[in-house]
Amino acid sequence: MEETRNGDQPFVEDGIRGGAKKAGLPPGALVFVGKPADFEPHVEVITYTPEKAEQHEVTTVEEAAVLSKTPGVAWVTLFGIHKAELVGEMGQQFNIHSLLLEDILDTTQRPTSEVFDDMLFFSLKMLKWNDKRRGIAFEQVSFVLGQGHVLLFQDRPGDIFDGLRRRILTGKGNLRTRQGDFLVYRMIDSVVDQYFVAAEKIAHRIEKLESEIMKEPQEAHMTRLLKIKKQLLQMRRTIIPLRDNVGLLERSQHPLIQQETLPYMRDVRDHIKEVIEMLDMYRETVTGLIDLHMSRTSNKMNEVMKVLTVVTSIFIPLSFFTGVYGMNFDNMPELHEKYGYYMLWVVMIVTTSGMLLFFRRKKWL
């Protein structure tokens, strides 16, 4: 079985590498790598032809395999991959290589694509903006395109593909008249659309931070800027391999990819390039804001130091006067002057006024 691999470097998120958990195990060992889940995995199947479409809630993988052999296209979705045994059953029923199953179970894996004689494998990261945490949540999504079926493996229930399901079930658009490769394209395109949504959310945060920093820079702003910069870096590391993987599918000349689907693949690759350019632009903006924050903070500190220096300079001669007349010598002529105390105050006030006038003329104040 010939195979072409692309993007097989491990994806690192929050400092966790999938290889650490699989250390010492043989290649193809089915071990789930990711955050534990507390729900029961389940399988959903949608079968469709140009004439009709049906949604099936199956209880076993065998039922899904039987439905995938019906005429038309079968869209089989496994919600929850934390149960490695169930993923292994999917592999047995649909003849998926153990190395592919290993990639499916590793949620820290970088986006990859693999081309076989009888199937195509594709994995990517689905991004969701979390309003509560004001950050981006990453979710592993894997596709297997075979003859007459599309397998979708998701880390958690709930996704962005409900619109596609409705269009298939209601017969809107041209999804039901196309093969499985067009469904894979539409799912990839839906994921890329979410990249734009996440990028726009980050852009809004950057604009808000910029206005706040221009008004009054605070220490919390630097923390938020560094967090945004980290999110942009994670997104970029996630999306760049996807661009290369889509290009690989486009150039593969695989019989499962119809010629009429290739222009759509090129279009989604252009969208991915656009997202990458947006992220690069936002990262430069954040870097500029970090420099601006440091500059504004430094200028603010300089203003404070300037005021303190002026105050210190004013009190130096005053301290000299009070120090001289605070000495305990008996033979000091001015000590017995009737108006000596008042005269000293006049001298100090005149000195202070003269220094302030001098500072203002020098534009130090």
Total domain count, the chain: 2
Q: 28 with 151, same domain? A: yes
Residue 341 lies inside a defined structural domain of this protein: yes
> Would 29 be classed as within a structural domain?
yes
Strand partners, 148: none
170 and 267 in a single domain? The answer is: yes
Same domain, 267 and 343: no
- Do 219 and 336 lie in one domain? The reply is no
> Global pTM?
0.77
- Domain check: are 143 and 239 in the same one? yes
| 355 shares its domain with 290 | no
Instruction: Answer yes or no: is 309 within a domain.
Output: no
Distance CA(34)–CA(30), nearest Å, equals 13
Residue 315 lies in a domain: no
Mark whether 267 and 333 lie in a shared domain: no
Residues 95-104 pLDDT 10s: 888 888 988 9
The pLDDT of residue 282 is 93
Read off the tokens for 10. 């491990």
Please say which residue of 274, 295, 316 terminates a domain.
295
Strand segments (E) across the chain: 4-6, 42-48, 53-58, 73-79, 113-115, 120-130, 135-146, 149-154
- Same structural domain for residues 241 and 96? yes
The CATH number covering residue 210 comes to 3.30.460.20
Looking at the domain assignment, is residue 319 inside a domain? no
d(CA 71, CA 52): 11
3-state SS assignment for residue 153: strand
> Does the residue 152 lie in any domain?
yes
> Do 232 and 355 belong to one domain?
no
Identify the pLDDT of residue 274.
94
CA dist 352 and 316 (Å) reads 10
Check residue 304 and give its pLDDT: 80
Please tell me whether residues 200 and 339 are part of one structural domain.
Answer: no
Q: Which helix (H) or strand (E) holds 202?
A: helix 180-215
Residues 331 and 236 reside in one and the same domain = no
Q: Which pLDDT score is estimated for 26?
A: 62
* AA letter at 38: D
- Structural domain span for residue 348: 325-361
Q: What is the mean pLDDT of each run of 10 residues along the chain (365 residues)?
A: 39 44 63 82 91 88 89 91 89 88 87 86 85 79 92 85 90 88 92 91 91 86 90 89 85 85 91 93 92 83 81 85 77 76 85 85 76
Instruction: Specify if 69 maps to a domain.
Output: yes
320 falls within a domain: no
Whether residue 33 is found in the same domain as residue 90: yes
